[in-house]
Structure 1
């Protein structure tokens, strides 16, 4: 060892005895960086340098108060990839106080009196190339200010690579996420083709094991967002290293890891990390401080997580309800849907906050809430009304395709917002140019399913929809044509041009051999029934050979049967499970006089006649899903069945099974009596007549 080296190490050991053995961290705004030695040409294979850095950080970094300088010189100790300043030896008894730098970077004592320690000048000399490397700001911030594209970042790396390499990936993602999709696509392609990209990836893999855990996770997150393929050696290597170091993760790191895993496709390394994350979350769930971090972890653990872990996270979320912001409440729906956990208490509380703060809620968030409710099978009428009323109140600021998407989601719940649907119908009548094939089929499905009609504009609306469908006939698919015509028939409207094209032999043959053959057969039978029973321009239905009709399932209704027996005086006064033509089935049939004041005898030997003094009454036991949500308005199929039963000579009575189950037998019989002996033929239902 030469004299210069020995001189440097001796002074370094003396510095280590001057100050307490503790570490001072410098926290930057984003928490990515810490105080560190800057390496102009860092090489992870230089073991001596790595060891030197570890020994210097606890003493020299504290001593220099976050300003650590290095310079190159011919007369100073030099290591590969790093240059230092020779430090003068100072005896311990000469340093009674903490040592710091003055504004001129001089090594001074804390006391400036003449009796104190004399100033020992620590003059720096500028090297030949005029560069003085110092830690002024984190690398990623400097790169963000100097670079405007992904290629600029790679150019900066190729000129003077610095540690850690994660800064380059983080900067590239920060730049890319502010670009448009087209620009982002071009920039990513240029990034992959850049000659320095492979070098950066190689350096990242070399540095990964000694890099800070948060640097490692943020760089992995940036790689995933930049579109680096998941099956590459780089990404898989980082995943393996994260597995090894997962116990180093604090709350922030766990949040980042959760976000990364959520964005990645399942694979062996991802699955192992997800399992490890579940274990850590299970251990640290009560220590989580931020609601956002809690929601991120809940969203990441997956639908197949143990139910005990889901319950524990639910309890933690319930404890934090008072700290939920409006955004937290809005995101909670998506979080619960991601983990497939239907917590009614959480959903109800978050729904209240969403309703109270609905104004200003972005469209994307409203759609996310509705989709999550669909996945969780959560039907909150107040929530749906609040969203629908808000959209109806601010209708002019929304695009028609946005409102249509919302109406489509409402239809999946069976929710019928009268005001919103009327506004949309009026808008379509005034702006028919909005209609294309997909929009036309979707609108027809929504309005027919919910059996919605306008008192004054219904015919005009249906005529415009029929005209739009006619304009699409030259390119519409067979299945879309079938769905559209079926929707028209459910709304009791019959567009001639569309029906004529649908019943062409080649189109019918295509429908009978398509992938959704069973559904197509069901709808073709529905059309055939409508053509036989409804008032249509067709004199007869087309000759369609369909497979035999399967037997309709029988749902026993023991309580309604007992009610009828008590009310009518015996089981011989009614018939049950009656099968009618056109594959229609009714639960009970009662025969009465035309005034519906007296029940007539009924037996299997009786022949149904069209005598003027006989009224056939069909009693249908209806489930809740056959009505629009929160109302007694029948949905499309039930309304069409009632119209057809009326044509077949029946008076239809609807018995809501879920209401009957709540009543005592005496009250249930009284309720059924008012239904059967009612003399108001329009009191039971509201049907659409065109």
Structure 2
């Protein structure tokens, strides 16, 4: 034995003989056997455990800054007052000894006594190597455990037989198993997990170990525990959140990604909000040091919609800086990320759209839906992107399920985009196989085609008849609101199936619609039904459904158009503003002209009575939302209104308010003149000029 080892053991003997034997060992809540130190300035916070079993790192706090070895008598170490001169201080920091469990699952020593420690040969090995080799049991490998076990209960059985440190590996193994089984089996396995007798013991062990784990293992554990369905308000989850919050300064780039992934799925609470606030501070400091694109996107998704705009802008600039490194997956994912943080970056969306368009083939259905829903949330309209998705689905129509195509069309409808090719493909499919439609499919298809006002000239009648026949076969199982939605869509398309309408106008059905569900929306749709039955060519003109009167909607006609008409018609006496019509219709301006639309009459009673060929002209100032995206194709409600105004004797003129807004007053007068007067009147005016 060399001189160094001899001096080491001599110091141990001197220290042991200086300690009295009057106090027994106390077991602390963390589970370690540790002597009670009676000292006025002693603080238990000085000995918190923040290390782990996989090596020492400078940023992690360890168990004993100064390790004192005291004499063991009858299995218990006894100390009374520690005199600093009596102990010795090791030159290097030692990692705490590994833990093992007795049959009652409490922390005890793993079998190495002080006497055995004194016999250890330090001649050829370091202190840490000896402790690692002699006193550390091998931790359980969660990947191997997940391969050996077939259920969550098997993992808990393994834990109850021989618990090892760390307990986080058992939760990770259970989450791996839960991911690979079916949804129904997963639900059943979770119930068995919660009722397993070892589950509470594992949770207790997890809480004791929280302060001594590596930070990334702690974050992985939290993510697995939440995904396994452990209630967020449970003591274990809240303890982990609090511990993560206290040690957030240990967070590196990898930990940022794990923590963001865990927080995204958690409901707001005090600890979650505090942790998210700390995460934002860290991200603000470390954003330019993030190298991995997926980590950047995970962090962007987690910071939330209520994050400061400056932080959102900084993350946007970082993403633009890394745009050249974006993969196809990164580009697809960026839409959902920006929607999650409610930040509309047109430049970033445009660049990602180009990559998505170039790699559209093979894009999964869920990704397509996510992109379209994110575009809706961000109010981002890219016709090239929408057309690319629609053309891809239309080209590969036969490989898609019918419900997938309908769901895509519903997403397009919310964006106001009409894909004619894809809608024609679905129309032909419905005509050939109407029996393949469910009630939900029928209502959805009717809603899309009526809202986008899509008419297929070749088979439009056959399409409506096929849908009416399929709906008639489902009347015994359809709800009142679904029936109303379907009939409302039929009426918008000027088609009136007998059986569904007869079912809808029954007294009990009307009463149910007026007293339950979204009554305001139901009343509005029933008014539309009443109007269509009266004005359109139907066999129900004598039927009137008694309904409460709708409140008059406040209308504010375009002031610029009013000034243009005043200049064009030389005064306000030749037009009327905000005209209320029967059937809850109103028009912005009304003009009275001759049938050839060459002459304007004033609203004075004499002029009106002398005009035998008077034509009422309705001037409507319409927004872009009245048309399908970037087209002149009217949407369903506006098309139905124009149809009904024509039935009431009006000639309808549409003025685009976005075009009128760009023009100067002189150009606006010329623009409106061309809209109001017929070509014949304009030609006569030009000749006279």
Give the TM-score of the pair, scaled to structure 2.
Answer: 0.80
Where do residues 37-76 of structure 1 align in structure 2 (5 Å cutoff)?
Answer: none
Aligned residue for 1:617, secondary structure, equals strand
How big is each residue's C-alpha offset from its partner over 1:396-420, in whole Å with a ceiling of 9 and x where there is no partner?
Answer: 1111101111111111111111111
| 2:393 and 2:422 in contact (8 A); partners too | yes
Q: 1:48 Cα shift?
A: 11
Q: Which residue of 2 aligns with 1:16?
A: none
Structure 1 residue aligned with 2:615? 615
How far apart, in 1, do the equivalents of 2:672 and 2:272 lie?
60
Q: Which whole-Å CA distance do the structure 2 matches of 1:184 and 1:409 have between them?
A: 31
Give 2:407's aligned residue.
405
User: Which residue of 436, 441, 459 corresponds with 2:443?
Assistant: 441
Match of 1:553 in 2: 554
Between the aligned partners of 1:612 and 1:425, the Cα distance in structure 2 is 47
Aligned partners of 1:463 and 1:427: how far apart in 2?
14
Separation in structure 2 between the aligned mates of residue 610 and residue 238 of structure 1, nearest angstrom = 87
Matches within 5 A, 1:281-300: 281-300=283-302
The answer as to whether partners of 2:601 and 2:608 remain within 8 angstroms in 1 is: no
- Give the direction of change, closer, same or farther, for the CA distance of 1:621–1:56 in structure 2 (3 Å limit): farther
**Aligned pair in 2 of structure 1 residues 446, 535: CA closer, same or farther (>3 Å)?**
same
Give how far 1:10 is off: 4.4
Matched, 1:80 2:82: no
Match of 1:152 among 151, 154, 158: 154
Q: What CA distance in whole angstroms lies between the structure 2 residues aligned with 1:548 and 1:651? A: 27
Deviation of residue 614 (structure 1)? 2.7
User: What are the Cα deviations for residues 68-110 of structure 1, in whole angstroms up to 9, with x where unaligned?
Assistant: 999xxxxxxxx921558965454xxxx9xxx99xxxxxx9xxx
Asked whether the equivalents of residues 11 and 89 of structure 1 are also in contact (C-alpha less than 8 Å), the reply is no
* CA-CA distance at 1:448 after TM superposition: 0.7
1:468-510 residue CA offsets vs partner (Å, 9 max, x unmatched): 2222222322222222111111000011112122222222222
Range that drifts further, 321-330 or 553-562: 553-562
Q: Which residue is equivalent to 1:450?
A: 452
CA distance in 1, matches of 2:623, 2:347: 26
User: What does 1:479-558 correspond to in 2, within 5 Å?
Assistant: 479-542=481-544, 544-558=545-559
Residues 549 and 154 from structure 1, CA distance in 2 versus in 1: closer, same or farther, beyond 3 angstroms?
closer
Cα deviation 1:298-328 (Å, max 9, x = unaligned): 1111122222222222222222222222111
Structure 2: which 5+ runs fail to align? 13-50, 57-61, 70-88, 100-107, 681-689
Match of 2:380 in 1: 378
Moved >4 Å (runs of 4+): 6-13, 45-52, 55-61, 82-87, 132-135, 606-612
Describe the superposition over 1:248-268 as per-residue Cα deviations: whole angstroms up to 9, x where unpaired. Answer: 111111211111111111122
Alignment of 1:228-267 (within 5 A): 228-267=230-269
Q: Specify which of 334, 352, 355 is matched with residue 353 of structure 1.
A: 355
- Mapped partners of 1:311, 1:634: distance in 2: 38
Contact kept? 2:276, 2:303, Cα under 8 Å: yes
Distance 1:640 1:659 in 2: 23
Matched residue pairs, number?
597
Judged with a 3 Å threshold, the aligned counterparts in structure 2 of structure 1 residues 51 and 160 are, in CA distance, closer, same or farther, namely farther
Q: In 2, Cα distance between the equivalents of 1:606 and 1:465?
A: 53
Once residues 183 and 50 of structure 1 are traced to their aligned partners in structure 2, the CA distance between those partners, rounded to angstroms, is 50
Return the alpha-carbon distance in structure 2 between the equivalents of residues 422 and 546 of structure 1. 37
Mapped partners of 2:461, 2:636: distance in 1: 17
Q: Give the secondary structure class of the aligned counterpart of 2:600.
A: coil
The Cα shift of 1:199 comes to 1.9
Match of 2:475 in 1: 473
Structure-1 residue corresponding to 2:583: 582
Work out the CA distance in 2 between the residues paired with 1:645 and 1:56: 95
Counterpart secondary structure, 1:653: strand
256 and 609 in structure 1: CA distance in 2 versus 1, 3 angstrom threshold: farther
Is contact 2:52-2:212 (8 Å) kept? no
Residues 250 and 69 (structure 1 numbering): CA distance in 2 closer, same or farther, change over 3 Å? closer
Q: Report deviation, 1:610.
A: 12
RMSD of aligned Cα (Å): 3.4
Instruction: Give the deviation of 1:225 after TM superposition.
Output: 1.0
Residue in 2 that maps onto 1:644: 644
- For residues 68 and 358 of structure 2, the distance between their equivalents in structure 1, rounded to whole angstroms, comes to 59
Deviation at 1:593, TM superposition (A): 2.7
Contact 1:592 1:615 in 2 (8 A): yes
